[in-house]
Structure 1
Amino acid sequence: MLIHPWDAARDDSEWQTWLAAHDFGQLAVNGLPGQAPFVQPLHFAYDAGRDEAVTHLARPNPMWAALEANPRVLLSVVDDYVFVPGPWQAAPEEPPEHGVPTSFYTALQLHCTAHVVDDPAEKADILNRQLGHFQPDGGSVRVAPGEIPYGRQLSGIRGLRLEVTEVRAKFKYAGKRSPEVRDRIAGALAQRGGPGDGAALEHLERRRTLAEDPPRTPPERLT
């Protein structure tokens, strides 16, 4: 993923705050020789303290052999995306029809080492962590091997711990445009009011002051 300096996350807190409200993505796994990669949509629970995401999948999923052959995976999360018409982006000295259309979006890529979990107690722990994230206000029960209601179903799944080794985050919201153009885009997003426009407008306004002093290189966190 190309990340220009003006689109890069300013620090870990920016992408971590965004990720805290996003828990559905696509897990990309390298295919076996001669095969295409596997891409699996899934819910996950990210734990900033442990620097890992946890999830589970059905045991018959066809990706397990490829995952065990190469545990290097990528968890991709994309949201807050909108289409921006060309005239919105035209420079003040240009005719509106000369503006270049583009996409606004937030994209986060977590490079991970995957750890397959088959131990029943460890799988139960992963499920409890997911339930604690997705059902924090009650309505969930503790999962324990052999105990109802979920204990007997543990054999039908395999757990995944995704140990995060690198993070690449991109917030593409007119960071290189002039204040006048950003103001025009902000007004147009507010007026259009379509799906995603509100979230894109919030990002554009939040990063407005940051655009005046872009970082020299896209920050990456390597562990």
Structure 2
Amino acid sequence: MLIHPWDAPRDDDEWQRWLSAHGFGQLAVNGPPGEPPLVQPLHFAYDPERGEAVTHLARPNPLWPAVEANPDVVLSVVDDYVYVPGPWQAESGTPSEHGVPTSLYASVQLRCRAHLVDDPARKAALLNRQVGHFQPEGGSARAAAGEAPYGRLLSGIRGLRLEVTGVRAKFKYAGKRSESVRERIAAGLSDRNGARDAQARAHLLRRLRA
């Protein structure tokens, strides 16, 4: 992922806050020799204090042999993305039809060392962390090895603890454009009011005024 200086996060807090509010991404694992990488969509819970993310997958998942062969993986999250029409990007004094269309988006890629979790008690603890992240208000029984209602289901999954060893983060929100162009893009996103337009506009204005 190319990261220009104007697209880089201002500090670690910017990407950590964003990632903590997102819990769905794609886990990329090196495939067997001669095969392309394997990519698995999944929910995960990121813990910035521990420097790790936790998740789980069904035991028959084809990723497991690949993870065991090479535990260096990438967890990729992309969101708040929008398409920007060319005329919105035309600089002052330039014909609007000469503006270049682009994409705006936020992306965080965590390089991780994957640790498999097969012990029933540790799997239960991992699941409780993950459910607690998504359901802080509770409402579900806690998992416990050998206990109803989830104990008998633990054998059907394997846990993954993803130890973060590197981070690449990008907030591509017209950072190299003039203030007037960014204000025009923000106005266009407000008027269009499509999927993710409000989130992208908030990023653009936040970074413009930082």
Q: Same fold (TM over 0.5)?
A: yes
| 2:121 aligned partner | 121
The CA deviation string for residues 163-198 of structure 1, in whole angstroms up to 9 with x for no partner, is 001111100001000011111111111111111110
Cα distance in 2 for residues equivalent to 1:158 and 1:98: 53
Number of matched pairs: 210
| 1:197 aligned partner | 197
Residue 49 (structure 1) shift: 1.0
Task: Give the TM-score taking structure 1 as reference length.
Answer: 0.93
Aligned-residue identity in percent: 72
Cα distance in 2 for residues equivalent to 1:188 and 1:91: 15
The CA deviation string for residues 93-148 of structure 1, in whole angstroms up to 9 with x for no partner, is 11000000000000100000000111111101100101111111121111111100
Task: Give the TM-score taking structure 2 as reference length.
Answer: 0.98
Cα distance in 2 for residues equivalent to 1:26 and 1:158: 17
SS at match of 2:54: strand
| 2:78 aligned partner | 78
| 1:46 aligned partner | 46
SS at match of 2:148: coil
| 1:220 aligned partner | none
* Deviation >2 Å, runs of 4+: none
Equivalent residue runs for 1:1-223 within 5 Å: 1-210=1-210
Residue 209 (structure 1) shift: 3.0
SS at match of 2:208: coil
**Which consecutive unaligned segments of at least 5 residues does structure 2 have?**
none
Cα distance in 2 for residues equivalent to 1:118 and 1:147: 17
**Which consecutive unaligned segments of at least 5 residues does structure 1 have?**
211-223
Cα distance in 2 for residues equivalent to 1:65 and 1:16: 30
Letter aligned with residue 20 of structure 1:
S
